Structure 1
Amino acid sequence: MKKEIAIIGSGFSSLAAACYLAKEGNHVTIYEKNAAIGGRARQLKTQGFTFDMGPTWYWMPDVFERFFADFSKKPSDYYELIKLNPAYRVYFGDNDSISIEDTLEKIKIAFEKEEKGASKKLQKFINQAQDNYNIAIKDLVYRPGVSILELVTPATAKKIGQFFSTIQKEVRKEFNNPRLIAILEFPVLFLGAKPSNTPAFYSFMNYADFGLGTFHPKNGMFSVIKGMQLLAESLGVTIKTYQNVTEIKVTDKKASAIVVNDQTIKVDVVVSGADYHHTETLLPSNFRQYSEAYWDKKTFAPSSLLFYVGFSKKVEQVDHHTLFFDVDFKKHSEEIYDTPKWPTEPLFYASFPSKTDDTVAPEGKEAGIFLIPLAPGLTDTQEIREDYFNKIMERFEKRTNQDIKKYVIFKESFCINDFISDYNSYKGNAYGLANTLLQTAFLRPKLKSKKVQNLFFTGQLTVPGPGVPPALISGKLTAALVQKENNA
């Protein structure tokens, strides 16, 4: 039987779930509280500049292809992809950087220059990572996290040791050069945890990096959101903005209505792509599955301090994606996860999409996005933000040997307070729950409420985890559970 389905939020997972549910003939409406769709993947446009406010890395193109193929479409039906070369550059000191190019063979040459014999070790490491990728992305992550048995397959049985070892151990077993170690441990930051706490099986992220490469959708990541919006609307999905959901009504232990802008709307099913913790606060307390103590004990992925900056001239000595690993990674990670505080000397990331895409900045100018990973829940003030902007600008200028701060014509920041106000994000986290061993698969918050029938969740705080490709998969998994319950 076809249902009236309300979806809260319009990020990647919500749009994906909406597409799958509409394809089955349901009447689907998305309710987005902000002025624009996309959730964390919104876009900022000002003074001729265009900035992706959230995700800027397009990895795992096969996951996007698989999503669109489910609707007999291709990504190229909606947006143009550009493969980046170099994929990114990593700075370790003044005028001291390594570029990661667009093929494994080129990357092996760069590794060999840094450490004799490293090219052979890298090939061995990536072969293992590719094997993990094939197991994880083609199979495991498309399971709904209902039971531990989902992880028990002939393929994973052979990999059991990798679930109890860590990325850090496996990388350092093979490599001695601290620069190469930093590059190999970097991709797990997308999973929101320290390399010392991330199961070695997640080396599949290294295959996503070196094996598949890094892409840029023309006009930015928001092009993917717009493509999904077009697909959803072609399937009959209604998308409404400025729609603040303040309550989920429960009748006879079933989700029966939502309250939107003080109006009660009857529904058959509620799917929330909004923050999981926040969504449960919309329920009567006796219908919440997870206590405040539960959330407080969880290991969250970092929050971020972001700056969106327009420069009046081109910035030199950088690539589209540029990482600054010129300070102590261990100390910064401890200040995120172990003793949460504003970092003493932060690692940071800079993106210059106008290096690749002339649509995102006026001619002769540069669009720059700067990100500092932070512990969630910190005190966030404009004064602190300004202090950190000055810190990273000073280091940026020193490392790349150029003056850029005086060429800033536009700057806007986004941090913990904004994640809370714009996305109802728990403690202002940016990426969701970290993928540690005890927060993997069936150990994450459930896609289906255990206490309220017809209430489902999707997105970064549930299965399979943080990141854009997992968000697409999460939407598919949730939609399948909804249909299974509908057809029962």
Structure 2
Amino acid sequence: MTRRTASAPPRTAVVIGGGITGLATAALLAREGLRVTVLEQQSVPGGRTGTWQSAGFSFDTGPSWYLMPEVFDHFFRLMGTSAEEQLDLVQLDPGYRVIFEGSGEPVDIAATRAENVKLFESLEPGAGAKLEKYLDSAVDVYDMAKKRFLYSTFASFLPLLRPDVLKRGPRLAQLLLQPLSSFVAQKFTDPRIRQILGYPAVFLGSSPFTTPSMYHLMSRLDLADGVLYPMGGFTRLISVIADLATAEGVTIRTDATVTRIRTTDPEPAGRLSRFRRSPGVRATGVEYTNVAGQALVLDADLVVSAADLHHTETSLLPRNLQTYPERYWKNRIPGPGGLLLHLGVRGTLPSLAHHTLLFTKDWEENFGKIFGKETSVPDPASLYVCRPSATDPDAAPDGYENIFVLVPVPSDPALGAGGMDGSGDERIERMADAVIAQISDWANIPDLAERITVRRTVGPQDFVQDLNSWRGTLLGPAHVLKQSAFFRGSNASRKVDGLLYAGGSTLPGIGLPMCLISAELVLKRLRGDTSTEELPVPSGHGDRAPGGRG
């Protein structure tokens, strides 16, 4: 169902934030006919999906898993192209490797569903057939979520009252109320399988012990569909989407720090605004400073913030115009913080796959330290290692390996900031030393520390300073029940007409595919479209060259 308002559509827009969400939003708005400017506070676009280069190494600084490929392709088709035309995607096999504390052989997750069914059977008799049923359920729930929930702005609940949703009502309720950990434990006994099926909760910024079992749908992505990698790294995604946006006429201004969202004064009560917000207050643009420190104003009919939602609401708007004021955030649960390591290593590292996960025995205790009331840094920690040089020769110089390490830690900026070659805060560097020693021991690389030629650390405080991240969280609000789907909040201000939100801290949630969907939800809001499915690709859009106005 599509609802259009009578007021004139906006002609100009400013997008706050030049990460993947901001760039994708700007591209879609420009293709809709708006004149769009993106303001990015860093010197280059990218945000969390950034890149860092040193001594011939090219490091992705954020996302590194390419999942839900159909979401990427749908976005590209809305832009008149395709993922196949824009990216060189490689299927990883194994999709990823898992090393278990105290266990012998690692477990390699294969590229196909059939191979993974055989793998699970080898780990636990009968688990192969159980995995078939588990993945059947994951596929069904995934398809339902994609059709009815992920692409919805929840501006209206009427489109959700469909037979396919209603007949699944009792089962969906059970999946929402039961934690993923217990859902998995009912079906499998081998602790390795339980960890493999529970870990996708981390992609959602949460713990398997609090994430609703609805999200077992995530297992479809890696165990059935496989894992892809875009050659050139994830910075390639940024450059491609930035190019598509500029081809549509978008202006991208870097080193531009937004300091305030400008609004009109309230008008007499009774007048309905375009997005049905409080009477008469509407966004008129932003104030920002450039690299020289000059204070500038940019007028616009529409403001879209793809920045952290907490920062947008509490720092860029006055208290009386905040939909999500500080008191709202006191009851929110952040996703994990992160200790990141970018390591250039001499020689080869064959014991590490492109993606490698290290899981501790004290699984529940490990998550409790990160998400519990009394938090602490797990030691040893369950962690993730990405070795893109296993696939991409451009990631490292000849004879060297590129290693990115992510250690989930509490979302606590007091843990500190990182730095180059051990120059970060003392606690961060001690944690990094322990992590390097852990990888060295568990992955059988006894001389790893001696072979490191480039070392850079990043801590939760860096996410606050560089990305205005709420509480230093790596990803955004965790996907617990009260922060999922329509409980996550709105992507439109209730106080300011013409102010919309996008990105991982709003609808539909965390992850690169969700960020692209979030950009599409901005377009739906603009059109007054309350449908729950992805926008149709207009006839001819999949074939015409980017930049055409047609």
Q: TM-score, normalised by structure 1?
A: 0.96
Distance in 2 between the 1:97 and 1:436 partners? 30
Distance in 2 between the 1:53 and 1:415 partners? 12
Number of paired residues? 485
Q: Report 1:267-306 matches (<5 A).
A: 267-280=300-313, 281-306=315-340
- Contiguous gaps of at least 5 residues in structure 2: 1-8, 266-280, 290-294, 417-424, 530-550
Query: Do structure 1's residue 263 and structure 2's residue 296 form an aligned pair?
Result: yes
Q: Which residue of 2 aligns with 1:479?
A: 523
Per-residue CA deviation, residues 431-463 of structure 1 (Å, 9 max, x unaligned), is 111111111121113111000111111011111
Q: Which residue of 1 aligns with 2:14?
A: 6
Q: Which residue of 1 aligns with 2:502?
A: 458
Letter matched to residue 268 of structure 1? D
Q: 1:202 aligns with which of 215, 220, 227?
A: 215
Q: 1:392 aligns with which of 412, 421, 435?
A: 435
Shift of residue 341, structure 1, vs aligned partner: 2.1
Q: 1:365 aligns with which of 381, 391, 400?
A: 400
Asked whether the 8 Å contact 1:315–1:366 carries over to 2, the reply is yes
Q: Report 1:291-440 matches (<5 A).
A: 291-338=325-372, 339-381=374-416, 382-402=425-445, 403-440=447-484
Distance in 2 between the 1:207 and 1:179 partners? 18
Q: Which residue of 1 aligns with 2:121?
A: 112
Shift of residue 147, structure 1, vs aligned partner: 4.6
Asked whether the 8 Å contact 1:145–1:443 carries over to 2, the reply is no
Q: 2:72 aligns with which of 54, 64, 69?
A: 64
Shift of residue 401, structure 1, vs aligned partner: 1.8
**Counterpart secondary structure, 1:330:** helix
Letter matched to residue 177 of structure 2? F
Letter matched to residue 47 of structure 2? G
Q: 2:145 aligns with which of 136, 153, 156?
A: 136
**Counterpart secondary structure, 2:199:** helix
Comparing 333-342 with 299-308, greater Cα deviation is found at 333-342
Asked whether the 8 Å contact 1:324–1:348 carries over to 2, the reply is yes
Distance 1:154 1:375, change over 3 A: farther
Per-residue CA deviation, residues 250-273 of structure 1 (Å, 9 max, x unaligned), is 113111121111112211111000
Shift of residue 295, structure 1, vs aligned partner: 0.6
Shift of residue 228, structure 1, vs aligned partner: 0.7
CA RMSD of aligned residues (A): 1.5
Which structure carries more helix by proportion?
A: 1
- How much identity, in percent, do the aligned residues show? 33
Letter matched to residue 145 of structure 2? A
**Counterpart secondary structure, 2:454:** strand
Distance in 1 between the 2:475 and 2:160 partners? 23
Q: 1:98 aligns with which of 107, 110, 120?
A: 107
Shift of residue 155, structure 1, vs aligned partner: 2.6
Query: Do structure 1's residue 227 and structure 2's residue 261 form an aligned pair?
Result: no
Question: Greater Rg, structure 1 or structure 2?
Answer: 2
Per-residue CA deviation, residues 368-406 of structure 1 (Å, 9 max, x unaligned), is 001110111242232111111121122211112222110
Letter matched to residue 322 of structure 2? R
Distance in 1 between the 2:488 and 2:504 partners? 10
Shift of residue 472, structure 1, vs aligned partner: 0.3
Distance in 2 between the 1:389 and 1:151 partners? 47
Distance in 2 between the 1:87 and 1:136 partners? 24
Distance in 2 between the 1:383 and 1:219 partners? 33
Distance in 1 between the 2:494 and 2:204 partners? 26
Distance in 2 between the 1:163 and 1:191 partners? 15
**Counterpart secondary structure, 1:259:** strand
**Counterpart secondary structure, 2:367:** helix
Distance in 1 between the 2:26 and 2:32 partners? 10
Distance in 1 between the 2:377 and 2:146 partners? 35
- Contiguous gaps of at least 5 residues in structure 1: none
Distance in 2 between the 1:447 and 1:306 partners? 30
